[in-house]
Amino acid sequence: MFKPLLASWLAVSVALPAMATTLDPDQAQARDIFSQLIAFKTEIGQGQVPVMANYLADQFRAAGFPESDIHIIPYGETAAMVVRYRGDGTGGKPIALMAHMDVVTAKPEDWQRDPFKLTEENGYFFGRGTEDIKSGVTALAANFIRLKKEGFVPTRDLIIVYTGDEETSQDTMDDLVKHHRDLVDAEFALNTDAGGGELSDTGKPLVYGLQTAEKAYASFELTTHNPGGHSSLPRPDNAIYELADALKKVQGYRFPVMWNDTTLASFKVLGATTPGTLGEAMRAFAQNPHDAAAAEVLAAEPSEVGKTRTTCVATLLRGGHADNALPESATATINCRVFPGVAIDTVRNTLQDLVGPKVEVSLVGKAVSSDPSPLRPDVLAAVTQAVHSIRPGVPITPVQESGATDGLYFRAAGIPTYGVGGLFMQNSDAFAHGLNERIPVKSFYDDLAYWHALLIDLAGKPASK
């Protein structure tokens, strides 16, 4: 999801006023779908993603989508789902629309409310996945159903792509791109799981971020080896000490400062409204990314450092095998967020050169890097119009996120991808992956209207003169 834009706006959450309970038929249907989706325990290991996919398939069938355009692709215990809304072909290649069906594990005993029951309370919807990202799943499904009911015929095919393991291995998206490209191929993709708007602590819309780039996720293991021996006969060569020395080298290293059109544009917009030294540094860096002093200020701010360079940090540690034995090996996991356009091997080689030949550096699992997506004028114009239809006049800026989504795989496969989620939230309400996840009720219904406007703008026929 869209990360907080302004670190200085960290305010105590205030309850939003409850919105009216009167819903139009489209809103009521969307709320019912949302409630059903929250109830599916689509955590890893539960096997519920295919069950949820079949529920969604039933909704699309009932709305008139033919069986031939509804695809559920199993993958182990999970699945992906692809639904095609046929257009008349006058508008070019399809547009892909993305969300994921899985959620991060939630322990009911730790929550104040049942995480797998949609609860509406004090102007919020509570439940696991409300923010990340079953609201997005709902917005796409509900709008396909609404547009079909309205008789809308797009100028190009619209393709919903629901993945089933974005929160873990991302294998379903990898599989779709590699083995089912014909189902998901598109001119560009719009991702509900990135981008979005920020509200002040009083509910005022501050800024909307259109995500055009994201950092790659890559973990490396640093391992030292040693013959070991009896702990009563210690030697200078010790696997744990050697690993500790290597970790200190990683801690002290900074990857080079980097930038792209997205980050410079983002700092320019955000610098205009961010107070104090941080805002000054944003403006200075946007004007001159070679400004070392500005880069230092940004590097000292956790929410901003990832926008200026690759970052690597130690996250896991293990070593030795017995209290009374010298360690035969020691291993640390280093998690890196790789700046767009930087190859994963480049990062691995940098770490290897840094820690030296006695330490083995190896990639954990797989990692995918990608370049930023070019800022398309048609996407920017449509997003601007759709955002202003729900939040008039709010400034819009391209953003690069330090996290990673399934959009990374589309970009790597040559499909430009844009994070254009329509939720507006306060920083203090961002509990995705955490306890008591929630979104404002108003933002949920605004998101429905936003996507309706966006899809019609990008795939509708121009008004006759």
- Asked whether the predicted pLDDT for residue 249 surpasses 70, the reply is yes
Residue 8 in any domain: the answer is no
% the chain with pLDDT above 70: 95
Work out the burial of residue 314: count CB atoms within 10 Å of its CB; fewer than 13 is exposed, 13-18 middle, 19 or more buried.
Answer: middle
Last residue of a domain, one of 364, 397, 414: 364
Residue 5 in any domain: the answer is no
Based on the fold, state whether residues 179 and 198 are members of the same structural domain.
yes
Supply 351's token pair: 């770490």
Residue 343 in any domain: the answer is yes
Last residue of a domain, one of 364, 398, 433: 364
- Asked whether the predicted pLDDT for residue 16 surpasses 50, the reply is no
DSSP class of 78: E
Supply 69's token pair: 């355009």
CATH code, domain with 257: 3.30.70.360
Residue 7 in any domain: the answer is no
In tens, the pLDDT along 401-434 reads 988 899 999 999 999 999 999 999 998 888 899 9
Based on the fold, state whether residues 99 and 236 are members of the same structural domain.
no
Based on the fold, state whether residues 174 and 232 are members of the same structural domain.
no
Based on the fold, state whether residues 279 and 185 are members of the same structural domain.
no
Domain boundaries, position 433: 25-214+371-459
| Calpha distance 83→137 (Å, rounded) | 12
For residue 21, what pLDDT is reported?
62
Domain total for the chain? 2
In tens, the pLDDT along 312-333 reads 999 999 999 999 999 999 999 9
Based on the fold, state whether residues 29 and 167 are members of the same structural domain.
yes
**Rounded to two decimals, what is the model's pTM?**
0.89
Q: Give yes or no for a contact between 279 and 271, defined as CB atoms under 8 angstroms apart.
A: yes
Based on the fold, state whether residues 44 and 95 are members of the same structural domain.
yes
Work out the burial of residue 292: count CB atoms within 10 Å of its CB; fewer than 13 is exposed, 13-18 middle, 19 or more buried.
Answer: exposed
Based on the fold, state whether residues 225 and 351 are members of the same structural domain.
yes
Tokens 């293991």 appear where? 221
For residue 391, what pLDDT is reported?
97
For residue 461, what pLDDT is reported?
78
Q: Provide Rg for the chain, Cα atoms.
A: 24
